[in-house]
Amino acid sequence: MLLDLHPLVILINLVVLGCAMTVHEFAHNFVAWKMGDDLPKLQGRLTLNPLVHINWVGWLMFAIIGFGILGSAPISAERMRDPRRGFLAAVAAGPLSNLALAVASALLLRLGGWSAVGYYAYHLPDQVVDPLALLAALLYASVFWNVLLCVFNLIPLFPIDGWHIVQALLPGKWLDRMQIPVTIQQNVRPLADFMMFPAFKWRDWRTASYYVFIALIFLSFIPLGGASPFSLFVGQPTSAILRLLVF
């Protein structure tokens, strides 16, 4: 679904998403490096220079249609001192950095008393007549997009961060077969397998998870009376957090 194509809104989105994406990918790389992965440093990714991290096509797509691949981080659990905890910290650092940016932007809006100004300036760009209104619109957009990126990246579907976070949190072995109810073993074999080896089965379902993710993206662009999957899983939590931070 297309966003507001007013030139000023697109410009604001490009600036805000460029900053959000840069901080997000830098956080992944920096924490991974701290956890023992040398590749981010060798590739020169320990920088806040957006040119190092940006995916140009995804950046433009996100600013116009609200979806796109903003960047990537070459981090690997195998190169870390503690693969499970290190990878969990490095992956979680991305969405948490976006939440931190959203909170910082919201604080500036509140301290300046610009919450209403930012909201109306962003949604009614033709009424932006002074630098203060433009600054307020940028801060409001920063809260909105950073919250959205945080929530979106916590969805537990491959290849986004949420899938990797769940993978790192799940134990390799959980229950023995005798501990699983016979009904589940006989009728819900995938669940029984998952209860025995959660992390390994989660990894095995990666491809299926990816197909679900792609299907949800396509469904988001089909008119469903405002009831698309992402409006439920991303839009509603984003709106709730946005109201809490800004108003």
Spell 171-185 as b/e; 16+ CB within 10 A means b.
eeeeeeeeebeeeeb
Sort 210 into a burial class: Cβ within 10 Å, 0-12 / 13-18 / 19+.
middle
Dihedral, CA atoms, 216, 222, 223, 229, nearest 10 degrees?
Answer: 0
Judged on CB neighbours under 10 Å (0-12, 13-18, 19+), 222 is: exposed
Give the residue from 221, 45, 42, 230 showing the smallest Cα distance to 153: 230
Q: By CB neighbour count within 10 A (0-12 exposed, 13-18 middle, 19+ buried), where does 226 fall?
A: exposed
Is position 78 annotated as part of the catalytic site? no
**Cβ neighbour number for residue 88 with a 10 Å cutoff:** 21
Choice among 20, 22, 25, 32 that is catalytic = 25
The amino acid at 135: L
Identify the helix (H) or strand (E) that includes residue 101: helix 83-112
SS3 category, 82:
coil
Residues annotated as part of the active site: 25
